[in-house]
Amino acid sequence: MKRREFITLLGGATAAWPLAARAQQPAMPVIGFLGSASPTEWPFVTAFQGGLKESGFLEGQNVTIEYRWAEDQYDRLPALAADLVRRQVAVIFTAGSPAPAHAAKAATAAIPIVFALGVDPVHFGLVASLNRPGGNVTGVNFLTADLGEKALGLIHELVPNVAVGAMLMNPNNPNVESLARKARETAPSLGLQLRILNAGTAQEIDTAFAKIVEQRIGLLSLGADPFFVGRRDQFVALAARHAIPVILLRARVRHCWRLDELRHKRKRCVSPGRGLHRKNPQGRKARRPARRAIDQV
């Protein structure tokens, strides 16, 4: 995906509103940011703000950003989305799992919504297709969830003698069943017995590692989830303490790999800013990056 194509993704979000709705907007445009995790668990807010800056928008100077965080409590998302709609934001940016995008879509059919997802937005009913998303929803699909099987194979290459591995899932993530199914389908081709473990809190992560040690599981792969991204320091410490090879998003620890997402995350954050400038956001194609990579660290 070319950079120029991406930054025009949501061109002119305000042009899509009814004139009456636009007339009610404050002089300074407002962007709604709806996240499923917490600000401490989602480390890409700086990239989001930097993308807006490239479009000429500086938070607090010529644009306001209303942040709404579910704090890993997915049942809070509908109320948070409704609050952004009442705030009459210009565009809603959703991050994390499909849940924030679904909550925003249910809350409004008028305000443009930009998602950034690691899963297929068509499969989860957010858009009709990538070429013709329809409605007021569009965004970028990074396919990081599809890299889960690749990540499992890579960590097994690092420790090929391991016969039993584990995949850790967040049971609160609506995508958990799909992730678990794909992992189970991949494991036999690697000659690996796979155990699925669940953790939706920091304490449950500690409990999962205790089970891994007790059951003598030889490696751990993490399902794609923003909560796990935010707990990477905890995973690094536990992996080092118990000498367990772990593969996780953007963690820097021995025997770990990271998904090279930052370049794409940096680009994606430009889109809401461009949405305040240009026209006809409705029907803009949802995008997938041309490059996907896993780097060793």
Q: Which residues pair with 219 in a beta bridge?
A: 165
Name, in order, each residue with C-beta under 8 angstroms of 146's C-beta and a sequence gap of 6 or more: 118, 182
Range of the domain at 33: 3-143+261-296
- Looking at residue 13, which CATH number applies to its domain? 3.40.50.2300
Q: pLDDT at position 134, please?
A: 83
Q: pLDDT at position 66, please?
A: 95
Indicate if the pLDDT at residue 67 is higher than 80.
Answer: yes
Indicate if the pLDDT at residue 288 is higher than 70.
Answer: no
Q: How many domains does the chain have?
A: 2
pTM strictly above 0.85: no
Q: pLDDT at position 41, please?
A: 66
- Whether 220 and 175 map to the same domain: the answer is yes
- Whether 23 and 156 map to the same domain: the answer is no
- Whether 272 and 292 map to the same domain: the answer is yes
Q: Which residues pair with 141 in a beta bridge?
A: 117
Rg (CA), the chain: 20
Indicate if the pLDDT at residue 25 is higher than 60.
Answer: no
Q: pLDDT at position 273, please?
A: 53
- What is the per-residue pLDDT across 76-93, written as a single tens digit (0 to 9) for each? 999 999 999 999 999 999
Burial class (CB in 10 A: 0-12, 13-18, 19+), 66: middle
Determine the length of the chain.
297
Which pLDDT band holds residue 13 (cuts at 50, 70, 90)? Answer: very low
- Whether 162 and 230 map to the same domain: the answer is yes
Q: Name the token pair of 140.
A: 């970028």
Mind giving me the DSSP string for 16-62?
GS-HHHHHTS-SS-EEEEEESS-TTT-TTHHHHHHHHHHTT--BTTT
Q: pLDDT at position 8, please?
A: 41
Q: pLDDT at position 65, please?
A: 93
- Whether 137 and 282 map to the same domain: the answer is yes
Indicate if the pLDDT at residue 185 is higher than 50.
Answer: yes
The more confident residue out of 281 and 141 is 141
- Whether 137 and 179 map to the same domain: the answer is no
- Whether 138 and 168 map to the same domain: the answer is no
- Whether 89 and 166 map to the same domain: the answer is no
Indicate if the pLDDT at residue 194 is higher than 70.
Answer: yes
Q: Which of 193-202, 231-240, 247-256, 280-289 has the lowest mean pLDDT?
A: 247-256
- Whether 7 and 123 map to the same domain: the answer is yes
- Whether 214 and 274 map to the same domain: the answer is no
Element at 296 (helix H, strand E): strand 294-296
What percent of the chain clears pLDDT 90, i.e. is strictly above it?
33
Indicate if the pLDDT at residue 181 is higher than 80.
Answer: yes
- Whether 229 and 248 map to the same domain: the answer is yes
CA 4/CA 70 separation, integer angstroms: 32
- What is the per-residue pLDDT across 37-54, written as a single tens digit (0 to 9) for each? 888 766 668 778 887 888
- Whether 55 and 124 map to the same domain: the answer is yes
